[in-house]
Structure 1
Amino acid sequence: MPIELNFVAPVALPAQSSITHLYKSVNLSDAFAIGLPAGASHDPDLLARFIFAHQPAWIGKLLKLRDLIVAGFGLKTATHLATLAHDAKAERLGIFKVYSTNATEMVVGEDDTHLDFRLSILCSGAPEAGSGRALTLSTVVHCHNLLGRVYIFCIAPFHRMVVKASLRRAARIGWPAGPGVAAPAKR
């Protein structure tokens, strides 16, 4: 069943995603999909960069609040991770380290003392018009200790809101066009 345009649907972790079986034990896993219109890019790197560049403003405020809370626990802050983007040795997408990129999937994430996580941006379906293409953002988290489990318990609802809002906003703005295609109409 094709995923609707502009509607973010919770889905199972995609079998074709490289993060689906990444960790032996998982403390959080979720996936959300949205349909891509005909003519939209199928490049996961371009789509990921587009999503993160156009997030709602409240997400930045939420990250600042998170930074204030977690800094006292010695956890990596978004502010610290953003400074790493200037390091030419490591490829990053905003605050996230890029772990892999291929024709259909980009995997980003971060490792810390309390937990490791990966976020997959997966483009599925053929790029032809009317093919039912979808973009799926999946997250898996492996906690190392009690602090990680408490942290993920507290932020999980916010994480889900952020992912869904980010996908909806990108769809509203209008996905970037694929090569040789005019930009899709805004919705």
Structure 2
Amino acid sequence: MSARMPIDFTFARQVALPAQSSITNAYKAVNLADAFSIRLPPDASTDPDVLARFIFDNQPAWIGRLMRVRDAIVAGFGLKTGSHLAGLAQGAKAERLGIFKIYRSTPNEIVVGEDDNHLDFRVSILCHGAQAGGGERELTISTVVHCHNLLGRAYILVIALFHRMVVKASLRRAARIGWPP
């Protein structure tokens, strides 16, 4: 008889874009598309809005420092900075999740993103798997980006590696802190 390995609820892995996500076919052409998934423990919330806010509110400190460096660089190119987006969130007419505009919200998925002159992007936070009665549940963060011009393509070329590190680190940190019930 083989012993069952304990489930590692802190391991974030790269996966294919989920077919059930509304952003999988959001753009005709994409310049970046990726998804990262993590298993949720049985007692964790399955509300994607709650989980997304928890992830964004508990990111590692180095991500904030990285965003400040990014903002200092992109401000000279006329791109939206984190402080600009935070200002939009303060007086938001549209619903926002942190600095991002909410484009869609369902019981299983929340989609956030922004549109800018150089690119548009959408991020999906999707809860899927067994919802009741046990079984594995997962949280998948997917991102799709559509670039409008050379500046957008250059930006994504530089940002892609950091983006992937940020998503995985954010998922791992949220899991280590403990998902909200």
Distance across 2 between alignment mates of 1:150 and 1:31? 21
**Secondary structure of 2:90 counterpart:** coil
1:70-149 superposed matches below 5 A = 70-128=74-132, 130-149=134-153
Correspondence for 1:10 among 8, 14, 31: 14
How well do the aligned residues superpose, as a CA RMSD in angstroms? Answer: 1.1
Structure 1 residue 127: Cα displacement: 2.4
Correspondence for 1:32 among 29, 36, 48: 36
Distance across 2 between alignment mates of 1:4 and 1:27? 32
* Unmatched segments (≥5 aa) in structure 1: 178-187
Contact in 2 for aligned 1:4/1:34 (Cα 8 Å): no
Correspondence for 2:47 among 43, 46, 54: 43
Name 2:175's counterpart in structure 1: 171
1:151 aligns with 2:164: no
Name 1:180's counterpart in structure 2: none
* TM-score, normalised relative to structure 2: 0.94
Distance across 2 between alignment mates of 1:75 and 1:108? 18
Contact in 2 for aligned 1:106/1:121 (Cα 8 Å): yes
**Secondary structure of 1:85 counterpart:** helix
Structure 1 residue 85: Cα displacement: 0.8
**Secondary structure of 2:62 counterpart:** helix
One-letter amino acid matched to 1:85? A
One-letter amino acid matched to 1:156? A
Distance across 2 between alignment mates of 1:53 and 1:62? 16
1:21 aligns with 2:25: yes
**Secondary structure of 2:63 counterpart:** helix
Distance across 2 between alignment mates of 1:42 and 1:21? 24
* TM-score, normalised relative to structure 1: 0.91
One-letter amino acid matched to 1:48? A
Question: Deviation above 3 Å: which 4+ runs of structure 1?
Answer: none
Contact in 2 for aligned 1:38/1:128 (Cα 8 Å): no
Equivalent pairs: percent with the same residue?
A: 71
* Unmatched segments (≥5 aa) in structure 2: 1-6
Aligned length, in residue pairs = 175
